[in-house]
Amino acid sequence: MSNKIDTSIIYEMFETIKSKLDKQKINEVEPVQIDLSTINAMTEQLENVIEEVKKPSKVEHCHKIEIRNNWFFFSWIGLVIIILGLSWAIGNQRQTIAQYRDNDLKYRYIKMQGQTNEENLYRLEQQFNHKDSIKIIRKQVEKYEELVKEQAERIERARQNSEEVERIQREVEVLKIKKQ
């Protein structure tokens, strides 16, 4: 059954009935008894059709993947293998990068200490098994590096100031010599 109703046919049917009724009124002077049973039956059918159209229709979709299609099946298998391989590679890289980051922090910590021995290295390795210890070591190293940087800046400023003082003294001596 189609969900669409051709309303033009129904409209045309009612117009035909109306025109026939008008012709009967013109031709006959006596009031005519009209048999409304057919109109009532058609109205009832029309209401039934309208109710059917108003009911929500259930649409089922069926997706079918056939393994008989070799290229489709093998392309999916290939994609899954590629995704798994890339996931493994990314995981491996992340682990390597984390190891490099830890080794860099260990190097900077040893550099901060100034010297080390086998026992200190073992203790440092044990501390890197705990996240809290790593955070503490990182803060210590960063604070140390910040202080070293500030000290280097102060030394550089002092060197520049001493060079400036020497330059000014030379200019003063040159001016004294020219003045004499």
Question: What pLDDT digit, counting tens, does each position of 94-139 carry?
Answer: 999 999 998 999 999 988 888 888 888 888 888 888 888 888 999 9
| Token representation of residue 152 | 């280097």
| Token representation of residue 110 | 């040893």
Residue 108 · residue 145 · CB < 8 Å: yes
Q: What average pLDDT does the chain have?
A: 84
User: Domain map of the chain by residue range?
Assistant: 7-54, 81-179
Residue 134 · residue 119 · CB < 8 Å: no
CA-based torsion, 62, 68, 70, 75: positive or negative: positive
Averaged pLDDT, 25-54 = 75
Q: What is the pTM of this model?
A: 0.46
